[in-house]
Amino acid sequence: MADLIYHFGDFRLAPNARKLTRNGKPNLAPARASYRSVERENRRDQAITQLKEAMIKADTLGVPELIGDVGYAYAQALLAAGKLDSATSISGRISTWAEKDWRAAWTQVCAYRALGQDAYEEQHKNKARELIGDRAVPVCAVAGY
């Protein structure tokens, strides 16, 4: 597994790429913090570009945990920007893990909501809530909702 860090406008592998966090998962905090910073400054297109690059790198590394984490953030950003086709594509990409990973499951819920497919949204919402457990249920970042 590898860590991604934000460094001068792009995502790169951290020097300690083999080091894991305490819970055994890749540390994406620097990438997330960078995205949030850019998003707060209303530079949504730049944030989406950064997440797209992170998704490409996550796919290249082939680590499911990393793909799910970046894919969730990327899909939410795309949904918030009203880029439904791209968001549903990412949702489909990470749907492989929707039975075991709450981020993939919740991304499906949000994509179905954006598509107006209420029956599928409800069907997937139950599984997502089961996987979310005691965590706060996230809000779908769907434009217009």
**Model pTM score:** 0.70
Answer whether 72's CB lies under 8 Å from 87's CB. no
Is residue 63, in this structure, part of any structural domain at all? yes
* pLDDT > 90 fraction of the chain, expressed in percent and rounded: 43
Assign 141 to helix, strand or coil: coil
CA distance 144 to 114: 9
Is residue 71, in this structure, part of any structural domain at all? yes
Q: What is the pLDDT of residue 43?
A: 74
Is residue 23, in this structure, part of any structural domain at all? yes
| Predicted confidence band of residue 44 (pLDDT cuts 50, 70, 90) | confident
For 45-62, what is each residue's pLDDT tens digit?
Answer: 888 998 999 999 999 998
CA distances from 65 to 18, 21, 51, 75, 90 (A): 14, 13, 15, 15, 15
pLDDT at 137 over 60: yes
For 11-36, what is each residue's pLDDT tens digit?
Answer: 344 444 334 344 555 555 555 555 55
Q: Which domain holds residue 36?
A: 4-97
Answer whether 131's CB lies under 8 Å from 102's CB. yes
Assign 4 to helix, strand or coil: strand
